[in-house]
Amino acid sequence: MAVLVTGEKLEILITEAEIASRINTLAEQISTAYEQTNQLVVIGLLRGSFVFIADLVRCLDLPVEVDFMTVSSYGNKMKSSGQLRIIKDVETDLKNRDILIIEDIIDTGHTLSQVISLLETRKPQSLRICTLLNKPSRREVDVDIDWVGFDIPDEFVIGYGIDYAQQGRNLQHIAIVKKP
């Protein structure tokens, strides 16, 4: 069991090999779904999705344009304010383009539903969602997810881009944070 600098112990939930295998499967499914388009824009929601999006787009068998958004509805609080704050917006014109939002983890769905609403105002041809991790037991807002890497239990996880107090993003697996 690994230990973070802050002292919490980690229990591996999803191994590096399981992640790599699932990404290959997701990439095949996404490539097939978009094989008729040359308009695909993949938008990663930062910061947590950066590792996942890098690995996923390299496995896609089609041309893609990549862009990023950084949004927050939490500020420095533990509970969402309900107001979406755009910290970094996409730079790509999304009108009449096929959009694939890449998330690291979908929990309550509040932030993602607001991102979807915002991007729909930009008149894309289509808008779909792919997430590495999904916590269906925590969902408060219904969001239509097209591709899910793994459904996980209601545990606090880190690794593979997901952090805890800015630590653990560099782990090559997904781990549950266990308080000492």
**Which residues are tagged catalytic?**
107
**For residue 44, which amino acid is it?**
G
CB contact at 8 A, 105 and 130: no
Burial class (CB in 10 A: 0-12, 13-18, 19+), 8: buried
Within 13 Å of residue 67, how many CA atoms lie on the same side as its CB? Answer: 18
CB contact at 8 A, 108 and 138: yes
